[in-house]
Amino acid sequence: MYVIETQGLTKFYGKDRGIIDLDLKIETGEIFGFIGPNGAGKSTTIRTLLGLIFPTSGSGRIFGMDIVRETKEIKKQIGYMPSEVNYYEKMDGQELLRYSANFYGKDCESRINELADIFSLDLNRKIIDLSRGNRKKISILQCLIHRPRLLILDEPTTGLDPLMQAKFFDILREENSRDTTIFFSSHTLSEVQKMCRRVGIIKEGKIIAVEDIESLRKKQLRKVQVEFAYPVKSGEIECTGVIASQAVENNLHFMFSGKMGDLLNNLAGKDIKDLIIEEPTLEEIFMHYYSEEKEHNKKS
Amino acid sequence: MTINTNLYFKELKRYRKFFLAWSISISVLIVMELAFYHIFMKEEMVKMMATFFENPFMKNMMTAFGTSLDVLTNALGYYATRNAIYIILLGPFFSIMLAGKILAREEHEKTAEFLLSKPITRLEIVWSKLAAFLTYLLLLSVMLLLAGSIGLEIFKGESVYRRSAFFVHSFYFFLLMLTFGAIGLFLSLLIKRGRPITNISIGIVFGGYLIDVLSKATQSASKFGYISPFKFVDSGILRPDYGLEWWRVLYFLGISLVLITLTFFIYKKKDILI
């Protein structure tokens, strides 16, 4: 049984596209990254899973329960962290967290205090008086205190400073080690790279790829930067596998997905001052994905 | 029907100040107005004003407001006429505004995202919020009842009135407020993203009140008045046979029931957009 499973999940807002034909399968204990640019449909997916909005067609199950009909049972097991924190402004942190905990009928006092200590959060201040980062911390606590089996995090790190981000990730890893499944939505790939084993890429409402982070890296895509002794043009190197070549004076930047030996043979006869070959960031890999997708669409 | 006590008590707390401010203001105004009756009768102001009230224009005006000199000189008649402004307008204002925001505000202030991610069904949310609204409506009605009876007892002077008529009159007001509450609850759900309906509420209460007044003033418009809930409150409080009439009660309960049922139905299916 999958923790999250959707089949053809589709949501339209009137005529506006939300998500189209989404098929997702997320396993127990997995940290799943959900990546896409703003407006791609990440939040729509999450809100449909949580029952804030209803699917136009298709279906979804969480822990084997239907996301529309059994939403209350599902939510007993879920911790949700929204991208924008909107809480009852007149409550203080303590009040909000107790209010939250009461919905689960659990006593979460010790966990609240423990986490408040970790994040050095003052729980006696009213939500309205808190900075964005501190509100975000309240949101973290709110989603963790009742020990959920599934965490749904929508852009969880926006507004958190790097130190807090690191603490947050430590806690997520700790939760994950107790078999808590994590659905991690983000447009920042580097943070997903740190946390996730598998990622789904969503674009314009559709899932365009679900990949293992490792296999993505092993796609042998390399980022190459060559400095020549003379000014060059972007077509300087003629070798299969050179992508998105760009020349700036003596420098040539490109992505390379071909055989490394061919590239080196090609370079060997030229007057080269410097050569850097590195692993591209996930961002660059995805940019590559996106551009390939576009070209593919153009051709078809 | 399940009420989530966590949500119910949070709602009571959230609107405590709103309730206190309104209920205390209205109660104080009622007692003050009745104190004025005392002066009105004692200083023989009535006699001085009698000729003024004989003027045909004033007579018509008074009919429009459902009163006459005879009514005004009776403590209960005076209460029903003068205090009408406070109970008949402020009561429904309180009711339509509270009901109009108790559900929609979560969406407007985007806290619905928090609430709906908790283990609670949509129907439980409506039940709990409806229960909080009804609690305050009942409390307000009790306070108005107390303020009215205490004020009447203190300031009635020589005047004699039927206490049962006062209770019946108060019950009509409770039903009137309930109806406006149901209207507020229903309307708030029709507005996208739960934007506040304060202006619409004021318009509806005032509009309804004016329609009622006009329909009483002019014979030709008397049927027209039935589109206003105010028309269904029996203001002939001094009639010897004044009592609860089933068709009036049925009207208020019917409208409230239909609108509240629709509220449940809509909220169960509604996309909550943040």
**Are B255 and B230 in contact, with CB atoms under 8 Å apart?**
no
Residues of A with CB under 8 A from a CB of B: 13, 47, 50-54, 71-73, 75-76, 78, 80, 82, 84, 86-90, 99-100, 102-104, 142
- Smallest Cα distance from B121 to chain A, Å: 6
Residue A233: its pLDDT value, please? 87
The answer, for B193 touching chain A at a CB cutoff of 8 Å, is: no
- Smallest Cα distance from A53 to chain B, Å: 4
The average pLDDT across B136-154 equals 93
Tell me the C-alpha distance between A122 and A134, whole Å. Answer: 9
More confident residue, A283 or A128: A128
**Between the CA of residue B38 and those of A219, B34, B152, what are the distances in Å?**
93, 7, 10
State what percent of residues in chain B have pLDDT above 70: 91
CB contact under 8 A, A78 and B117: yes
The answer, for B128 touching chain A at a CB cutoff of 8 Å, is: no
**Are B216 and B66 in contact, with CB atoms under 8 Å apart?**
yes
Lowest mean pLDDT among B62-71, B83-92, B149-158: B62-71
Query: Which range scores top for mean pLDDT: B70-84, B171-185, B233-247?
Result: B171-185
Residue B45: its pLDDT value, please? 67
Tell me the C-alpha distance between A86 and A135, whole Å. Answer: 9
Residue B187: its pLDDT value, please? 94
The average pLDDT across B124-131 equals 97
Residue B66: its pLDDT value, please? 65
CA within 13 Å, CB half, A130? 26
Residue B144: its pLDDT value, please? 92
- Smallest Cα distance from A57 to chain B, Å: 14
pLDDT tens for A80-113 read 999 999 999 999 999 999 999 999 998 999 999 9
The residue of chain A with its CA nearest to that of B112 is A52
**Are A190 and A281 in contact, with CB atoms under 8 Å apart?**
yes
Sign of CA dihedral B147, B149, B155, B156: positive
The answer, for B108 touching chain A at a CB cutoff of 8 Å, is: no
The gap from C-alpha A59 to its chain's centroid, in whole angstroms, comes to 22
- Residues of chain B contacting A89 with CB distance shorter than 8 Å: 109
Query: Which range scores top for mean pLDDT: A96-100, A249-253, A290-294, B30-34?
Result: A96-100
pLDDT at residue A54 above 80?
yes
Nearest to A104 among B112, B119, B271 (CB): B119
CB contact under 8 A, B113 and A52: yes
The average pLDDT across B255-259 equals 97
CB contact under 8 A, A53 and B120: no
DSSP A29: T
DSSP B207-257: HHHHHHHHHHH-GGGTTGGGGSGGGGS---TTSTT----HHHHHHHHHHHH
Residue B146: its pLDDT value, please? 94
Residue B124: its pLDDT value, please? 97
Residue B46: its pLDDT value, please? 65
Contacts of A182 (CB under 8 A, 6+ apart): A30, A31, A32, A150, A151, A153, A172, A175, A176, A195
Tokens read off for A255: 């992505």
pLDDT at residue A290 above 70?
no
The residue of chain B with its CA nearest to that of A54 is B271
Tell me the C-alpha distance between B267 and B179, whole Å. Answer: 19
ipTM reported for the complex, 2 dp = 0.85
Does this model's pTM top 0.90? My answer is no
pLDDT tens for A189-246 read 777 888 898 999 898 899 988 888 887 766 668 889 999 999 988 888 888 888 888 8
DSSP A121-151: --TTSBGGGS-HHHHHHHHHHHHHTT--SEE
